[in-house]
Structures are given as C-alpha cells and as structure tokens.
Amino acid sequence: MQRYLVLADGTVYPGTGFGAPATTMGELVFNTGMSGYQESITDQSYNGEILMFTYPLIGNYGINRDDHESIHPTCRGVVAHEVARRPSNWRCDETLDAYLKTNGIPGITGIDTRAVTKHIRTQGAMRAAIVDSVTDAVHQQLQRPVDQTHEVAESSTANAYPNPATGLNVVVVDFGLKHSILRELAKRHCNLTVLPYNTTASEIMALNPDGVMLTNGPGDPKDVPGALPMIREIEQHVPLFGICLGHQLFALANGADTFKMKFGHRGFNHPVRDLRTGRIDFTSQNHGYAVARESLAQTELTVTHEEINDGTVEGLRHNRYPAFSVQYHPDAAPGPHDAAHIFDDFIDLMHAHQTTKKEHK
C-alpha cells in the first residue's frame, strides 16, 4: 500500500503503509534510540507527534505486555526505514504492525529516515502528514495553525488512583506519566497516590504527603499555567521532585522561562554532567522544550546538571526549599540506568525533611 510522508515545507517522501489504514498529521520528531520502540510509542510525551525512528530496523522483537509506558498510546504516527515482518522474542505477544492497527496509529516504512532526520536538524521540527495521496488540501492543512494546548489534559488521568505500599507517602501529579516512574518509586517502597494534572495544592496537602512528584508529559509547559500556583505552594511544605515537563513547570513556577528547541532531545545516549560532582551519566531524554539558562539569574534556582553536547539546562535545585528537578528520564525505560540514583536522592530528601520536622517540634 503506497503512502507518503509530507512535510510542512513541501518536501514529500514516498513509502509503504503499515499499521492503521488512516491519514494523520502532527509534529514530526525523531528518536535516535537503537531499541525501545514500544516504550517510545506508548510514552505520553509523544502525544500529538509523528514519531520517526532513526535506527534502520524496528519491530524485530515485537510488542509484549510488560514494556508499555501507558495503556493508550497517543502519538499520531510512526515512521521507519524498515519494519520487521517476523519478530522473534520469547516475550513477543504481537507484531508492531498489529499493535498499531489495534490502536488506530498509521505508519509508513521504506523511508530514508536518516535523510529526513538531517532535514529536520537543518530546518527544525515541523508539522507533517502521513497520507495515501498528496493533494493541495494536504499542503494547505499543514500550514494552518493547530490548537495543541489540550495535550496534557488528554494524557493525564482523569481520576485519582493509588499504588499502595508500606513506606513514604508520595503524591504523583500526572501530566502524562510513564509507568516506569511508578515502578522506580515502588521499588523504593513508596506508597503512591496518582492525581490529575489540575489538582490543587490543598487537595495534595490533604493527603499528608511526605513528598510530591511532578511527572513528564507532552507539549509546551506554558500551556499548563494552572500547575504553577500549586507548585509554588507545595515546594514550601514538602520535598518536590520534577521530571521532564515537571522540571520545566518547576522552573516556570519559580520565575524562570522556557523555550522551544529547534529539534529537541529524543534518544537514550545524551551525556549529562552533574555540575556539583563532575559525574557524567548517559541519559534517556524526550523533550522539545527546555529551560532558558539566562532566565534563571533572578530566581532562587541553581543549575545542577547540564547536557554536555549543547549546554542545555538538565537539572535545577531550589536554594531555600527541598525541591529539585531533572530534564532527563532517570527511570530509563528504555535507556541506560546511569541516572537511577536520582530517585534515591528524592528518597533521601524526604527522609531528611522528616528528620528536620521532628527536630523543630
């Protein structure tokens, strides 16, 4: 089945269709990971985006029931150079093609994905379409502005739910979380309560948390202004930890600014330096926005981590409150596990805060 990848600048790439028999539009972004396509497709941070893999072959180990990062994937499409017809893995439950069909996600293969990636790196991330035929209407629609302010609302849970355990009581504010975040906290015996993205500070504090986690999520952090008063209030009372979108919201809540990157960081090999110790971790990342370093001068935030390749701000800590954040994914699903110790830092911060509270009683 002939399909086409059409970019907003008029560039057209012919290929072969797979997945759902539908047309789609979204921002075209690329992921440089050599594996982990299932985790990426089910990562809610890709909501509204067409996900292109630079690794030449995907689908070779199929789809299994264990590696989902969310139940309902929300990426708009998948672009690949080659898709394996016969996956081989003892955990495989179905093919990538079948999974995309079930979830209504169209794909296109037979594309020189590395050439397209070079194009995006030069021109910047842009809207694209996967279609069965190229028409003037497709080109025109790609030029129209699109309302993308609803992505977090689509990705977040609508209702609170628990992940019970015996240990520290942690509230997780869901902006589009990855299940691996819950797994990492559960490993550390945290009693979790997951709340919607628009939860208020008073609703959180009513649960008597030992700490609050701000998760990853899709889109522009400035599209979630309602979270900022909640963050400003919470950080004054209990330890707070933000990941990815949570990191950006933490920065905005404390007076910093964010900006849209030319083509973002999406892959599993981004080197990040801890400026306090010199330690370098290779990290999993998925973001198209970043914190503007120059905007931090008048805030009470200190940069703790930076990306070695381009100097992007990758970590922040509040100078007065027990609150910090990282731009990358220490949960590493998929990706290297170098940075898993960041979750231990959060646990240590909560224990230290408990000790301080007892001493002041």
**Is 1 in contact with 97 (CB distance < 8 Å)?**
no
Residues labelled as active-site residues: 244, 329, 331
Per residue, the 3-state secondary structure of the chain, as one string, reads CEEEEEECCCCEEEEEEEECCCCEEEEEEEECCCCCHHHHHCCHHHCCEEEEECCCEECCCCECCCCCCCCCCCCCEEECCEECCCCCCCCCCECHHHHHHHCCCEEEECCCHHHHHHHHHHHCCEEEEEECCCCHHHHHHHHCCCCCCCHHHHHCCCCCEEECCCCCEEEEECCCCCHHHHHHHHHCCCEEEEECCCCCHHHHHCCCCCEEEECCCCCCHHHCCCHHHHHHHHCCCCCEEEECHHHHHHHHHCCCCEEEEEEEEEEEEEEEEECCCCCEEEEEEEEEEEECHHHHCCCCEEEEEEECCCCCEEEEEECCCCEEEECCECCCCCCCCHHHHHHHHHHHHHHHHHHHHHHCC
Q: Is 45 annotated as ligand-binding?
A: yes
Tokens of 300: 């009470």
Distance between CA atoms of residues 110 and 175, nearest Å: 34
**In which residue are the tokens 């979108």 written?**
245
pTM, rounded to two decimals: 0.96
What contacts 309, CB < 8 A, 6 or more positions away? Answer: 270, 271
Q: Can you give the pLDDT at residue 358?
A: 73
How many residues are listed for the chain in this entry?
361
Residue 219 labelled as part of a binding site: yes
Average the pLDDT over 14-33 and give the result: 95
β-pairing, 24-31 vs 126-131, is antiparallel
**% of the chain beyond a pLDDT of 90:** 93
Whole-Å CA distances, 136 to 8, 11, 123, 132: 12, 13, 22, 13
Res 361 pLDDT > 80: no
For 12, 127, 140, 219, 226, the CA distances from 148, given in Å and listed in that order, are 24, 12, 18, 7, 16
pLDDT at residue 286 above 70?
Answer: yes
pLDDT at 359 over 80: no
Please check if 288 is assigned to a binding site. Answer: yes
Using one digit for the tens of pLDDT, what is the confidence trace for 61-109? 999 999 999 999 999 999 999 999 999 999 999 999 999 999 999 999 9
Is residue 17 annotated as involved in ligand binding? no
Q: What is the dihedral of CA 235, 236, 239, 242, to 10 degrees?
A: 10
Mean pLDDT of the chain: 96
Query: Any known ligand binding at 217?
Result: yes
Residue 57 has pLDDT above 80, yes or no: yes
Query: How much is the average pLDDT of 170-192?
Result: 97
| Kind of pairing between the strands at 12-19 and 106-109 | antiparallel
Whether residue 167 is annotated as binding a ligand: the answer is no
Neighbour tally for 237: CB within 10 Å: 15
Tokens 């408990």, located at residue: 354
Determine the Cα–Cα distance for residues 56 and 37; give it in Å rounded to an integer.
Answer: 12
Residue 194 pLDDT level (bands cut at 50, 70, 90): very high
Express each pLDDT in 305-357 by its tens digit. 999 999 999 999 999 999 999 999 999 988 899 999 999 999 999 999 998 87
Number of other residues whose CB lies within 10 A of the CB of residue 8: 18
What domains can you pick out in the chain, each with its CATH number?
A: 2-143 (3.50.30.20), 151-359 (3.40.50.880)
Q: Is 246 annotated as a binding residue?
A: no
